[in-house]
Amino acid sequence: MNCSILGLTLFQRGHVYAPDDLGQQDILVAGGKIVAIAPSILADDFPGCRCVNLEGAIVCPGFIDQHVHLIGGGGEAGPHTRTPEVRLSRLVEAGITSVVGLLGTDGITRHPESLLAKTRALEYEGISAWMLTGAYSLPSPTITGSIERDVALIDKVIGVKCAISDHRSSAPNTAVLANMAAQSRVGGLLGQKPGISVFHMGDSPRMLEPLYDVLAHSDVPITKLLPTHVNRAEPLFEAALAYARKGVYIDITSSIDEPVDPATAIATALRSDVPLSRITLSSDGNGSQPEFDEQGNLTGIGVAGFESLAHTLRQLVTVHAIPLEQALCPLTRTVAEFLGLGHKGRLAVGCDADILVLNDTLEVYHLWAKGNAVVKEKKACVKGTFE
């Protein structure tokens, strides 16, 4: 049989980080899945197979970005400050092959239904996409009328999000927070989803106190509660390290440069006995970056990009001397494990063929999503429907 009919592609002689360092390997892909990895796979055994020579290149899993404002964020300074929808090309040029969308401060003019539509659109256009229901405020805006039903019944919904310890949150009490997390957990059980709860962290002195209150007054597993933006303030980051040492996950934001830049945050966490298996990195991409004075008045606003993911990876390797196979984990395997995506975050037989090629300066050079080329020589070769 002519293997071109099967859509076979053979990636040859790349230095594979799966993210474990496997050395030089060939990778055989069929139907968007990895079907073989070996030091040598003969193309002659698969007539019509397309061959891609990656000799000397770094080959690793595509990035998983679990915190993206797919339909835009912002709005803190009025309607004109609502950020736009994300473009497919921007995601893939940043090395992203899997994305989780969510809402932010604005749960009034942004809706979970619109987010679901965008999530489905990105999946159709070529990458893998999921979403969280809810927004900053509680009770959560939902699609079906409840968090539990959203997570259990809607294929793309894998959990819920809210904001705590932030002047833009709805100041939820412990019972409300615990009920939110419990609904996501049970919905996840019913729908075979992770059923996670993601907590946007502000810089309030309360820090992680609301999370500890939830743990003290509910039976939701601690591994299902993820605080994000934990590097936005030094006291918060120290509290997050103590939280992570309990064996749970923390999420560092790559677009937050100060007071704790993301690479320094990850390196510090490792030195503080927080294992890589509990550290994730996300961009907060397409979200607004507001600046407030001490009275809570907005003084400036920007938009978070996605390039910070690869930049953080480079900083981990070149500045903090963390081996590449370790530096990749917060962007790949660890995120996939937290999200319960067994077919993502690794280069292994049976996994999706999300294959990222980095050049010698660790820049995104080529990218395949589910076996299809989406970036060639740093430029997107696919576009969103209206790009």
Percent of the chain with pLDDT over 90: 86
75 or 309: whose pLDDT is higher? 309
**Per the annotation, does 168 bind a ligand?**
yes
**Per the annotation, does 202 bind a ligand?**
no
How far apart CA 170 and CA 41 sit, in angstroms, is 57
What pLDDT score was predicted for residue 290?
67
Q: How far is CA 90 from CA 122, 254, 258, in A?
A: 12, 16, 24
**Per the annotation, does 197 bind a ligand?**
no
77 or 113: whose pLDDT is higher? 113
The three-class DSSP label of residue 171 is coil
**Per the annotation, does 136 bind a ligand?**
yes
306 or 303: whose pLDDT is higher? 306
What pLDDT score was predicted for residue 2?
46
**Per the annotation, does 105 bind a ligand?**
yes
Q: Could you report the per-residue pLDDT of 28-44, keeping only the tens digit for each?
A: 999 999 999 999 999 98
Average pLDDT over residues 217-229: 94
What pLDDT score was predicted for residue 376?
97
**Per the annotation, does 320 bind a ligand?**
no
Q: Could you report the per-residue pLDDT of 204-213, keeping only the tens digit for each?
A: 999 999 999 9
Nearest in space to 187 (alpha carbons), one of 143, 226, 121: 143
How far apart CA 106 and CA 226 sit, in angstroms, is 21
What pLDDT score was predicted for residue 6?
64
Q: Could you report the per-residue pLDDT of 236-255, keeping only the tens digit for each?
A: 999 999 999 999 999 999 99
How far apart CA 278 and CA 274 sit, in angstroms, is 7
Q: Could you report the per-residue pLDDT of 251-298, keeping only the tens digit for each?
A: 999 999 999 999 999 999 999 999 999 999 999 998 777 677 777 777
What pLDDT score was predicted for residue 1?
43
Q: How far is CA 357 from CA 14, 53, 95, 152, 354, in A?
A: 9, 11, 9, 36, 10
Please provide residue 276's backbone torsions phi and psi, each rounded to the nearest 5 degrees.
-60, -25
Percent of the chain with pLDDT over 70: 98
What pLDDT score was predicted for residue 128?
98
CB 112 within 8 A of CB 78: no
Q: Which two tokens stand for residue 198?
A: 């993601």
Catalytic residues: 284
**Per the annotation, does 361 bind a ligand?**
no
pLDDT band at 232 (very low <50, low <70, confident <90, very high): very high
Length of the chain: 387
Token pair 């990749």: residue: 328
pTM of the prediction? Answer: 0.94
How far apart CA 318 and CA 355 sit, in angstroms, is 22
Q: How far is CA 114 from CA 18, 106, 127, 142, 250, in A?
A: 35, 13, 18, 11, 28
What pLDDT score was predicted for residue 15?
98
Nearest in space to 130 (alpha carbons), one of 344, 362, 378, 288: 344
Q: Could you report the per-residue pLDDT of 366-379, keeping only the tens digit for each?
A: 999 999 999 999 99
How far apart CA 387 and CA 381 sit, in angstroms, is 12
Nearest in space to 103 (alpha carbons), one of 232, 284, 227: 284
**Per the annotation, does 161 bind a ligand?**
yes
**Per the annotation, does 67 bind a ligand?**
yes
What pLDDT score was predicted for residue 87?
95
Strands (E), the chain: 9-17, 21-30, 33-38, 50-53, 58-61, 63-68, 96-101, 128-134, 157-164, 196-201, 225-228, 250-253, 279-282, 288-292, 298-303, 355-358, 364-369, 372-376, 379-380
Token pair 């590097």: residue: 231
Q: Could you report the per-residue pLDDT of 94-136, keeping only the tens digit for each?
A: 999 999 999 999 999 999 999 999 999 999 999 999 999 999 9
Mean pLDDT over the full length of the chain: 94
For residue 71, pLDDT beyond 50: yes
Q: Could you report the per-residue pLDDT of 333-350, keeping only the tens digit for each?
A: 999 999 999 999 999 999
